[in-house]
Chain A
């Protein structure tokens, strides 16, 4: 992110479809407000942000890439040995390791299930909110805000406790409902039930964002339009499909992408709930895997290579996102 030289900060050519002749337009709806030629001013305002982001985001990313091409273990960290350039050797080692592929596939599947569940729950409840009166709506909103505000680490500890084989209430309730198989059942022992447990927590703490955002979007749809459609005898399904869905699409894109990004990076929940990645690493996801490689076994290069793989996957997601935004004609 090099701050370009500001001398050339000319007025950019008017982009977009609405270049109006003259600028006697009343303020407010001109595309890209404040088209002044403060040559230096914007860069002055941007300077602190660019310095911070350059030093603490861009540079570490560069370092991450660099380390992934080097021989970098405890010996190099302590300065005992010189670092050597390895080319793609670390990546070759990583991709040749079946464990890496297992973890990568598990991460993608787990993230996918989390995203779909979160969106389904969030959207369903957003619609539900529009159908109820003030008191139930407030109750659900407050409960959701509580779940949202809960720090990841405390949320994780509480959910583990709820499902604790000895002291947790969940198994007791399940047994009481007649599912006697849950008597003293350890959720973290089996790979899939451990992932399910983490999934519950992730959905619990991330559906509120989806619910609140989608609900705000539904509320922003002009009532007249919906009423007119209803008067014309359109079915609820048709109203949804032809009016609400298109209007909500931008919001749905945002919450979907945000969910993908969050759930792909889940760290704290896995780490805390499955005690660092589960029994024999059965609940490992890429993020935890990279951490364990780097800080538990001092293989910094391999850890960094995993980090680079994660970055590239997320970058691909971001590019898709940008294309979707562009297609919606969103002006940056």
Chain B
């Protein structure tokens, strides 16, 4: 991406107005997150107040404490992290190989495959909950660790669902690696697998990171499968399910909900901030032909 600034001549008052607008919009966009964190730190009396204030005089950790004590929240957190982590690593490796195949080789059915990968991104995964439910149930009888009520039943579908987009996005990164490099490596006597893992892989790594964001999010945010597949084994629940416990008929525990939401949002925020540069350039690469 060239870092050109679109410098159409703007008169000063206009630019001032644009900058004020940008700051106001930024404040509005950030407000829900601010409110979430603020409410998580408010003491019990303040949160159930009908006169909500945009600050708190006496921040407390009560809500967080309640979340971690009442629920086996730490465990759910680790479960979510485990599911998302395995999905990210597995889909990155599988997608890297596949992207290399479609970006650097010519073979029959290549275009067909690419169209398939594109179409596969459109599949509404929610619609597949029903057959997926039966598939996981049947798999569980033969393969240990993937049946209903196991974390495997959340990991496997998400690997499959994040693959098509990952392949599509990585393709651009693999294409960008000069072919001369590959020829040079072979002339120097490198084997094909050595080139793949020791030269191409490190070069494509930034792209893998950008792709991982999407895989991570899809797995971390999973709500439907956790709800449908983890029926009785609560020790294998993930964060979303733990969060919903605080919605009660007799009145929602908003402090608990906001604290749980905060705990669930922070890791993704950190992840995003770490990779935002690569994410933006990755999107640019994926969108450009």
Contacts and interface: CB of A to CB of B under 8 A. Distances in A.
Contact of A267 (B48, B126, B157): B126
A217 B124 contact: no
A254 to B, nearest CB: 5
A158 B108 contact: no
A99 B201 CA distance: 52
Interface string A126-161: 001111110011011011111111111111011101
A161 B255 CA distance: 10
A182 to B, nearest CB: 14
B10 to A, nearest CB: 6
A157 B280 contact: no
B235 interface: no
A109 interface: no
B4 A161 contact: no
Contact of A1 (B29, B116, B182): B116
B85 to A, nearest CB: 16
A60 B135 contact: yes
Contacts of A67: 130-131
Contacts of B4: 219-223
Interface size class of B (residues with CB under 8 A): 35 or more
Scoring B129, B224, B272 by chain A CB atoms within 10 A of each residue's CB, the highest score goes to: B129
B167 A332 contact: no
Nearest to B286: A254
Contacts of A295: 129, 228
B124 A223 contact: no
A61 B131 CA distance: 8
Nearest to B137: A77
Interface in B169-189: 175, 178-180, 182-183
Contacts of A169: 35, 52, 54
A277 B192 CA distance: 53
A216 B21 contact: no
A61 B126 CA distance: 11
A87 interface: no
A208 to B, nearest CB: 8
Interface string B274-285: 001001110110
Contact of B104 (A33, A60, A219, A223): A33
Given A147-B33, A151-B264, A167-B50, A311 B124 contact: yes
Given A33-B104, A151-B221, A261-B122, A216 B1 contact: yes
A157 B243 contact: yes
Instruction: Tell which of B22, B157, B264, B271 has the most Cβ of chain A within 10 Å.
Output: B22
B230 to A, nearest CB: 13
A130 B5 CA distance: 7
Nearest to B196: A45
A251 to B, nearest CB: 5
A1 B116 CA distance: 8
A307 interface: yes
A221 B6 contact: yes
Contacts of B120: 53, 57
Given A213-B283, A261-B121, A264-B124, A146 B29 contact: yes
A332 B114 contact: yes
A234 B164 CA distance: 43
Contacts of B194: none
Contacts of A300: 130
Interface in B70-121: 93-95, 97-98, 100-111, 113-116, 118-121
B28 to A, nearest CB: 8
Residue among A139, A143, A311 with the highest chain B CB neighbour number at 10 A: A143
Contacts of B183: 27
A36 interface: yes
A300 B129 CA distance: 10
B166 to A, nearest CB: 9
Interface string A274-309: 000000000000010011001100001001101110
Interface centre among A136, A137, A300 (most CB of B within 10 A): A136
Contacts of A53: 120, 160, 163-164
A234 B50 CA distance: 56
A59 interface: yes
Contact of B220 (A33, A52, A151, A294): A151
Interface stretch (A4-12, A88-96, A187-195): A4-12
22 contacts: A1-B113, A15-B111, A27-B180, A57-B123, A59-B135, A61-B128, A77-B134, A130-B5, A140-B26, A147-B32, A153-B240, A167-B47, A204-B32, A223-B5, A223-B7, A254-B287, A294-B129, A307-B124, A307-B130, A311-B123, A317-B122, A318-B118
Given A132-B15, A136-B18, A213-B287, 6 more contacts: A36-B105, A64-B130, A143-B25, A303-B130, A307-B124, A318-B119
A-B pairs with lowest CB-CB distance, top 10? A34-B104, A307-B127, A63-B131, A56-B160, A27-B179, A154-B261, A49-B98, A45-B101, A9-B107, A136-B22
Interface of B: 1-10, 14-15, 18-19, 21-23, 25-27, 29-30, 32-33, 35-36, 39, 47-52, 54, 93-95, 97-98, 100-111, 113-116, 118-132, 134-135, 156-157, 159-161, 163-164, 167, 175, 178-180, 182-183, 192, 217, 220-221, 223-224, 228, 240, 243-244, 254, 257-258, 261-262, 264-265, 268-269, 271-273, 276, 279-281, 283-284, 287-289
